[in-house]
């Protein structure tokens, strides 16, 4: 259902029809604890439009077979769907070739692939990997495992109190030992937009490779990998209004083909004997076993849907939601927003008096408001700000001012409970 808001958005913002968009997402018609659902946890997983759900249902009912292996019609159709999805992703990222697109389970899987396949074969003891203070655990732990395995050193790029990435301090960390920079595109806690283009340029000056965790970035900012000129870029489907269980690793083709397989099994091989196996080029060499066939179809449908609305239009709407929410929350006594970077997306992490974030989340859920509470898989960042956890509201293309009003009212209710 679509409900009235205090300051309802209409088509006056880039002809952005929020009501029509909300109608496309079945979950937004749900009620939660007797209230309309205000879903403000898109940073964890976005809701899915009907076109994605319908496309996946149709594929399961009418087009399902295993891919790449069958000489029969249904398998060939499924293979075409799967490879067409790869092309949709390649076009969306402006990749040079579909061979640069590897389907993974999620971003965690993609980063671990690079850490294992590239890191363990091209990095050695004493080489340095630079990450930042804002990283998700998925872009910290794989490098720690690599450090323990081969003896690399981790360098941490700092941020200021507002959550801005300190580019000058980052540059000072770079040197002849820097072999890889692994940096988030956008902080999943602070919403900070990291200057990845400048980071890539600085890293290239010392001949370092660059991996970008684009989990939050591609959803809100988009990416042109040819213009960016990083070496790897990873994102996940479930934050991009697509299904869970699928992610994407883009990599430069010559680099991918120089890397050994991460997993072994069917479809990634050329010849197997008991003495030796040889492997196919990318992307097949990194897609062992039955791949996420229908999930790829769903991801392509999500990208088509996003493209039909326009990435820039979505970004403009989300920026408006960020401004509106920041203004509303600033009126609540005792609420402190953590992270006020100069450039950020629609993510707001905050504290409210001394109420534990888990209590806040539980209480406002009783008013139909869904937010995230905890350390958000970014414990070093929590330590940086001296807090054990935060409450996080994260916005999507379907977020309305009504959602924000409902959040503000629910937070005032929670504050009242705790006196």
Encoding tokens for residue 115?
A: 């850490």
| C-alpha pair distances (Å), 67 with each of 52, 80, 183, 237, 376 | 20, 8, 34, 20, 36
Query: Cα separation of 1 and 229, whole Å?
Result: 43
Q: Which residue has the tokens 């340095």?
A: 128
Please state the φ and ψ torsions of residue 163, each to the nearest 5 degrees: 100, 10
Q: Give me the pLDDT at residue 15, please.
A: 77
Q: Give me the pLDDT at residue 69, please.
A: 84
Please state the φ and ψ torsions of residue 240, each to the nearest 5 degrees: -105, 30
Residue range 350-363, pLDDT digits in tens: 999 999 999 999 99
pTM: 0.95
Angle, CA of 211, 212 and 216, to the nearest 5°: 160
- Over pLDDT 70: what percentage of the chain? 96
b/e for 369-394, b at 16 or more Cβ within 10 A?
A: bbbbbbbbbbeebbebbeeebbbbbb
Q: Give me the pLDDT at residue 418, please.
A: 85
Query: Cα separation of 270 and 280, whole Å?
Result: 6
Taking residues 53-82, report their average pLDDT: 97
Question: What residue ranges define each of the domains in the chain, with the CATH number in brackets?
Answer: 18-32+310-417 (3.90.1150.10), 53-308 (3.40.640.10)
Q: Do the strands 209-213 and 232-236 form a parallel or antiparallel pair, or are they unpaired?
A: parallel
Residue range 265-310, pLDDT digits in tens: 999 999 999 999 999 999 999 999 999 999 999 999 999 999 999 9
Q: Facing residues of 180 across strands?
A: 129, 209
Task: Give Cα 56 to chain centroid, integer Å.
Answer: 21
> Is the pLDDT at 10 greater than 70, yes or no?
no
Contact (Cβ atoms closer than 8 angstroms) between residue 96 and residue 226: yes
Contact (Cβ atoms closer than 8 angstroms) between residue 216 and residue 315: no
- Over pLDDT 90: what percentage of the chain? 95
Q: Give me the pLDDT at residue 2, please.
A: 25
Cβ-based neighbour number of residue 27 at 10 Å: 14
> Is the pLDDT at 9 greater than 90, yes or no?
no
Contact (Cβ atoms closer than 8 angstroms) between residue 129 and residue 181: yes
Residue range 136-179, pLDDT digits in tens: 999 999 999 999 999 999 999 999 999 999 999 999 999 999 99
Query: Cα separation of 39 and 53, whole Å?
Result: 18
Q: How confident is the model at residue 11 (pLDDT cuts 50, 70, 90)?
A: very low
> Is the pLDDT at 5 greater than 60, yes or no?
no
Catalytic residue among 32, 215, 328, 377: 377
> Per mean pLDDT, which range of 4-8, 317-321, 322-326 is the poorest?
4-8
DSSP 28: G
What's the mean pLDDT when you consider all of the chain? 95
Angle, CA of 65, 69 and 70, to the nearest 5°: 60
Residue range 90-100, pLDDT digits in tens: 999 999 999 99
In the annotation, is 377 catalytic?
Answer: yes
Q: Give me the pLDDT at residue 1, please.
A: 22
Please state the φ and ψ torsions of residue 341, each to the nearest 5 degrees: -65, 160
Cβ-based neighbour number of residue 284 at 10 Å: 18
> Is the pLDDT at 8 greater than 60, yes or no?
no
Which among 219, 132, 192, 128 is positioned nearest to 345, based on CA atoms?
A: 192
Residue range 172-228, pLDDT digits in tens: 999 999 999 999 999 999 999 999 999 999 999 999 999 999 999 999 989 999 999
């Amino acid at each position: 259902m679509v409900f009235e808001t205090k300051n309802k958005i209409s088509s006056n913002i880039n002809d952005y029809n929020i009501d029509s968009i909300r109608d496309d997402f079945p979950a937004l018609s749900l009620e939660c604890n007797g209230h309309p659902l205000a879903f403000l946890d898109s940073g964890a997983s976005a809701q899915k439009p009907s076109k994605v759900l319908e496309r996946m249902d149709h594929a399961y009912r009418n087009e399902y077979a295993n891919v790449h292996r069958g000489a029969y019609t249904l398998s060939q159709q499924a293979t075409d769907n799967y490879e067409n999805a790869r092309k949709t992703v390649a076009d969306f990222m402006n990749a040079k070739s579909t061979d640069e697109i590897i389907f993974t389970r999620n971003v965690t899987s993609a980063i671990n692939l690079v850490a294992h396949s590239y890191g363990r074969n091209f990095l050695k003891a004493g080489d340095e990997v630079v990450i930042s203070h804002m990283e998700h655990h998925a872009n910290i732990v794989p490098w720690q495992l690599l450090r323990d395995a081969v003896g690399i050193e981790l360098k941490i790029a700092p941020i200021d109190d507002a959550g801005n990435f300190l580019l000058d301090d980052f540059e000072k960390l770079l040197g002849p030992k820097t072999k890889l920079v692994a940096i988030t595109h956008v902080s999943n806690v602070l919403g900070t937009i990291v200057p990845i283009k400048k980071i890539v340029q600085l890293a290239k000056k010392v001949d370092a490779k660059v991996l970008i965790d684009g989990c939050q970035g591609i959803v809100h900012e988009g990416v042109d990998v040819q213009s960016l000129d990083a070496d790897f870029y990873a994102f996940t489907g479930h934050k991009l209004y697509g299904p869970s269980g699928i992610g994407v690793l883009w990599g430069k083709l010559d680099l991918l083909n120089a890397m050994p397989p991460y997993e072994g099994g069917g479809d990634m091989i050329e010849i197997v004997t008991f003495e030796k196996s040889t492997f196919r080029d990318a992307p097949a060499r990194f897609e062992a076993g039955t791949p996420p066939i229908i999930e790829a179809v769903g991801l392509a449908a999500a990208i088509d849907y996003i493209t039909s609305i326009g990435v820039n239009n979505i970004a403009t709407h989300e920026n408006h939601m960020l401004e509106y929410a920041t203004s509303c929350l600033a009126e609540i006594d005792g609420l402190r927003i953590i992270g006020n970077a100069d450039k950020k997306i629609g993510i707001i992490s905050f504290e409210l008096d001394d109420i534990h974030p888990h209590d806040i989340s539980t209480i406002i859920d009783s008013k139909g408001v869904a937010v995230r509470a905890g350390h958000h898989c970014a414990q070093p960042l929590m330590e940086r700000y001296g807090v054990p956890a935060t409450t996080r509201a994260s916005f999507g293309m379907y977020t309305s001012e009504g959602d924000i009003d409902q959040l503000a009212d629910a937070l005032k209710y929670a504050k009242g409970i705790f006196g």
